[in-house]
Amino acid sequence: MSGIFISFEGPDGAGKTTVIEALLKKIATITNKEVLVTREPGGSEIAEEIRQLILDPKHTEMDDWTEALLYAASRRQHLIEVIQPALAADQIVLCDRYVDSSIAYQGNGRQLGMEKVKQLNDFAIQGQLPQLTLYLDVPVEIGLQRVKKLGAGFDRLEGQELAFHQRVREAYLKLVEENEDRIALVDATQPIDDVVAKCFAKIQQLVK
């Protein structure tokens, strides 16, 4: 695979989508490589259908392991159908969430165990990790407040209790500590231009 795979992570409302959009233009100034923006869960027709199933607030009866398996299944489909072909075509892939989301949300948020959820996903991704993961760190109250302000309501995951979101953030901070060669923490409470500049600096180091 000759492309570059970059994922973006963070609690809900950290600013991933906004940052990725801003980075698109900036990346075009430093490389001729095509840039593909995609997201999880989703990014392909089948994976988007799984997304609807998982995030629908009316699916209150969904078992936690079923949820973890559905995220892993949508990841597998997206990886095979979208990410790997783009990398093979020498593109830069900017992915809004990837495997660290499952380890944080299902592993620690749902308390299924970070290592167990990692193992489940090892099967799905077969070693395909991003070269760089930009973790946008924000206190969960601030992130959820930002989502609330958008006015579209909460999906099934966003609608979980505060303690769930706090466990998610704790897990991310642990992942940053354990994977400092891959995951870079960016303070996402800063003004958006500063957050974008910090992310861009990290990407420049990789793309040059």
Ligand X SMILES: Nc1ncnc2c1ncn2[C@@H]1O[C@H](COP(=O)(O)OP(=O)(O)OP(=O)(O)O)[C@@H](O)[C@H]1O
Residues that bind ligand X (CB under 6 A): 10, 12-18, 146-147, 150, 188, 191-192, 195
- CB-nearer residue toward ligand X: 14 or 72: 14
- With a CB cutoff of 8 Å and minimum separation 6, the contacts of 35 are 24, 27, 28, 91, 92, 93, 94
The interface with ligand LXEULUCI within residues 148-207 (CB under 6 A) comprises 157-158
Q: How far is the CB of 143 from ligand X (least distance, A)?
A: 7
- Work out whether 9 is an interface residue with ligand LXEULUCI (CB under 6 A): no
Q: How far apart are CA 124 and CA 30, in angstroms?
A: 33
Is 139 part of any known ligand binding site?
Answer: no
Is 10 part of any known ligand binding site?
Answer: yes
Is 107 part of any known ligand binding site?
Answer: no
Q: What are phi and psi of 152, to 5 degrees?
A: -95, 0
Q: What are phi and psi of 185, to 5 degrees?
A: -90, 130
Q: Are 95 and 130 in contact (CB under 8 A)?
A: yes
Q: How far apart are CA 34 and CA 199, in angstroms?
A: 18
* Cβ-closest position to ligand LXEULUCI: 105
Binding-site sequence positions for ATP: 10-17
Binding site for ligand LXEULUCI (CB under 6 A): 12, 39-41, 71, 97, 101-102, 105-106, 157-158
